[in-house]
């Protein structure tokens, strides 16, 4: 039972004994730094039931707690806030319970509990992953790991957009201008090679448009009748008809892209349990149109098109099947969701990591699935996120102005190298050790900078600012972790024998504050999971590191007055380090042993 639960019961008893009133809930908050106390009871919400002066009510409850609760040693009341001081023994006992728990804060899933499926990445196979994909992947992967840490079974998945006119544009451009080049012959990653031809298509298409305008056509006519576009559209029809040559080229070029993606995913440190392909799913959901018509969820218009009327729910009418009988994206997404439940029957909810430009689409999708009667539809969540901007401006794939994910990762490592060399932090490292460390610092900086921001907010990403060794950054936290490892190595070298129980009787204020921060970790994991927000964990970790650095600057660890204090402070430092490592693990960030 945590401190709030213990005190909540006692405060309710105090109010009942003194005022003959039954409180349903008790509101707590952290005690402000300028007042003595470890936890604060907020009196104001009680005034609806308990009549009287809030200061007097606080005094009455405080006196009851001191007299009846062993772990409460003192209190003070400031206006309507009861600041409660807790005996050191409570914090020491808590620390002894958790100090050797490697997975402190994490919960194992129940055997028969329902699972959650988290979808992220979902790229197109006509271009490499870019900066926008980086935020998507980091968010989706981290949320999956956080939900797992909170005690749920999780499946990570993506749907790969491997068909459509945009894919045919890359294929046609390679066929026209590629002269048979391959990733092996060029030394390029397959996704980059294919992406170059997507850019090439756009360049040649614009030339044709310009020529048609010169010949007297309007811009709109030119865009629709450019030979290159007509040929790409014809290629798509051939693909849908199963033309062997087109399908073979599609398989070959997509294969190049998948090889490239796998390298990027490895560099980013993300993975998947299940893959879905749009080429397999784009016809899914059509059979549900018939069922929806029978149940009255869908209606057929005179032209034969099928719609779902959501106006009574504050939305609009949404088409689910065109008049020619072909499916739309919404139909496909309905079918894919149902297929996933068939494939993974233990899934009871899904999280879709998709940019905020699709907010409306997911409102409609979730509502239609509910109307179709699927019970799990109430557990669907759109992890909506804002765009990532760079100081240089907006990115466009077809114009080749996108920031490539692999290039960004390389640039982060180079920036980490420049800053580390300036600071002179890595004397005595071999070149190989330095190279590995630069990548760890660079990736840590990138991931932390993106994940510390609430997903809904837009980000202006500045690589140099992210690799600052001071402030709320990944490298600052990594450096603190490495500093603790250095302390632990020195402790081992000086034969500090760690006993199984921390036997100190009193705590320094800085030790108490550090333990209080550690106590929050399990609740932080649960909150981050329910809010689908890695930012909660990122900022908690920064607060933990700030508390440790304050402790480090004010309390001598290896120079403590006696061996008992020395052992306790080494143990406390170790626990902070393992908690940083666990927190960063669910963010997908590595921590270096030396720095």
Summarize the confidence of residues 564-586 as an average pLDDT: 96
Rounded CA-CA distance 100/498 in Å is: 12
pLDDT band of residue 505 (cuts 50, 70, 90) is confident
DSSP 53: -
Q: Tokens for 408? A: 């960004």
Give the pLDDT confidence of 227-252 residue by residue, as tens digits.
999 999 999 999 999 999 999 999 99
Summarize the confidence of residues 476-497 as an average pLDDT: 92
Which residue ranges make up each domain of the chain? 3-86, 87-155+327-595, 164-273
Q: Cα separations (Å) of 74 from 37, 66, 84, 90?
A: 8, 6, 6, 14
Give the pLDDT confidence of 416-450 residue by residue, as tens digits.
888 887 777 677 788 898 899 999 999 999 999 99
pLDDT band of residue 221 (cuts 50, 70, 90) is very high
What's the pLDDT at 402?
67
The residues near 589 (Cβ < 8 Å, ≥ 6 apart) are: 443, 444, 447, 448, 474, 478
Phi, psi of 20 (to 5 degrees): 55, 40
DSSP 223-266: HHH-HHHHHHHHHHHHHHTT-HHHHHHHHHHHHHHHHHHHHHHH
What's the pLDDT at 419?
83
What's the pLDDT at 141?
98
Give yes or no for residue 395 having a pLDDT over 60: no
Could you tell me the CATH superfamily of domain 87-155+327-595?
A: Isoleucyl-tRNA Synthetase; Domain 1 (1.10.730.10)
Signed CA dihedral, 309, 310, 316, 321: sign only: negative
What's the pLDDT at 392?
65
Phi, psi of 31 (to 5 degrees): -70, 135
Q: What is the mean pLDDT of the chain?
A: 93
Class of domain 3-86: alpha beta
Give the pLDDT confidence of 289-322 residue by residue, as tens digits.
999 999 999 999 999 999 999 999 999 999 999 9
Give the pLDDT confidence of 19-60 residue by residue, as tens digits.
999 999 999 999 998 999 999 999 999 999 999 999 999 999
Among the listed residues 467, 390, 480, the one whose alpha carbon sits nearest the alpha carbon of residue 422: 467
Summarize the confidence of residues 578-590 as an average pLDDT: 98
pLDDT band of residue 393 (cuts 50, 70, 90) is low
What's the pLDDT at 401?
55
Of 27-31, 162-166, 214-218, 393-397, which gets the smallest average pLDDT?
Answer: 393-397
What's the pLDDT at 489?
94
Give yes or no for residue 394 having a pLDDT over 60: no
DSSP 111-174: TTPPEEEEE----BTTS--BHHHHHHHHHHHHHHHHHHHTT-EEEEEEEEB--SHHHHHHHHHH
CB 209 within 8 A of CB 226: yes
Higher pLDDT, 464 or 265: 265
* Helix (H), strand (E), coil (C) string for 464-510: HHHCCCCCCCHHHHHHHHHHHHHHHHHHHHCCCCCCCCCCCCCCCHH
What's the pLDDT at 267?
93
CB 28 within 8 A of CB 7: yes
Give yes or no for residue 400 having a pLDDT over 50: no
Summarize the confidence of residues 6-30 as an average pLDDT: 95
What's the pLDDT at 425?
65
């Amino acid at each position: 039972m945590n401190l709030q639960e213990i005190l909540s019961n006692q405060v309710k008893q105090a109010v009942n004994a003194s005022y003959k009133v039954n409180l349903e809930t008790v509101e707590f908050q952290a005690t402000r730094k300028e007042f003595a106390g470890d936890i604060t009871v907020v009196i104001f919400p009680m005034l609806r039931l308990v009549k009287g002066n809030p200061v007097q009510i606080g005094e009455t409850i405080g006196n009851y707690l001191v007299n009846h609760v062993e772990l409460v040693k003192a209190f003070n009341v400031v206006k309507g806030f009861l600041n409660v001081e807790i005996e050191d023994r409570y914090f020491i006992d808590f620390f002894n319970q958790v100090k050797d728990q490697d997975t402190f804060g994490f919960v194992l899933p129940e055997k028969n509990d329902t699972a959650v499926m988290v979808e992220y990445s979902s790229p197109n196979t006509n271009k490499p992953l870019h900066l926008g994909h980086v935020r998507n992947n980091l968010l989706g992967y981290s949320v999956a790991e956080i939900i797992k840490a909170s005690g749920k079974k999780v499946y990570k998945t993506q749907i790969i957009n491997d068909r459509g006119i945009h894919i045919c544009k890359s294929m046609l451009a390679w066929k026209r201008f590629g002269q048979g080049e391959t990733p092996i012959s060029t030394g390029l990653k397959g996704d980059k090679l294919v992406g170059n031809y997507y850019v090439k298509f756009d360049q040649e298409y614009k030339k044709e448009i310009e020529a048609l305008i010169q010949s007297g056509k309007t811009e709109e006519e030119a865009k629709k009748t450019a030979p290159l576009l007509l040929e790409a559209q014809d290629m798509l029809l051939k693909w849908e008809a199963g033309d062997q040559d087109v399908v073979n080229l599609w398989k070959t070029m997509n294969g190049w892209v998948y090889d490239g993606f796998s390298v990027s995913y490895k560099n980013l440190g993300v993975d998947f349990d299940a893959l879905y392909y749009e080429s397999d799913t784009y016809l899914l959901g059509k059979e549900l149109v018939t069922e929806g018509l029978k149940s009255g969820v869908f209606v057929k218009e005179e032209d034969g098109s099928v719609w779902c009327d959501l106006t009574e729910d504050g939305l609009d009418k949404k088409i689910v099947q065109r008049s020619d009988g072909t499916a739309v994206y919404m139909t496909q997404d309905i079918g894919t969701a149902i297929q996933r439940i068939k494939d993974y029957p233990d899934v009871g909810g899904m999280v879709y990591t998709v940019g905020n430009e699709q907010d409306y689409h997911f409102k409609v999708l979730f509502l239609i699935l509910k109307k179709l009667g699927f019970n799990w539809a109430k557990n669907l969540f759109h992890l909506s996120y804002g765009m990532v901007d760079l100081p240089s401006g907006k990115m466009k794939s077809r114009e080749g102005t996108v920031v490539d994910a692999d290039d960004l990762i390389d640039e982060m490592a180079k920036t980490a190298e420049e800053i580390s060399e300036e600071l002179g932090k890595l004397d005595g490292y071999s070149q190989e050790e330095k190279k590995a460390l630069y990548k760890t610092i660079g990736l840590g900086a990138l991931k932390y900078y993106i994940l510390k921001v609430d997903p809904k907010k837009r980000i202006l990403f500045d690589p140099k600012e992210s690799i600052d060794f001071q402030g709320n950054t990944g490298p600052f936290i990594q450096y603190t972790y490495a500093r603790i490892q250095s302390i632990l190595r020195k402790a081992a070298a000086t034969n500090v024998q760690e006993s199984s129980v921390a036997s100190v009787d009193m705590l320094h204020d800085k030790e108490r504050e550090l333990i209080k921060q550690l106590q929050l970790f399990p609740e932080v994991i649960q909150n981050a999971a329910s809010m689908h927000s890695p930012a909660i964990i990122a900022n908690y970790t920064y607060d933990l590191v700030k508390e440790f650095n304050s402790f480090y600057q004010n309390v001598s660890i290896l120079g403590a007055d006696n061996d008992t204090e020395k052992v306790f402070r080494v143990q406390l430092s170790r626990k902070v380090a393992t908690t940083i490592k666990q927190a960063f693990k669910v963010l997908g960030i590595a921590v270096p042993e030396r720095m």
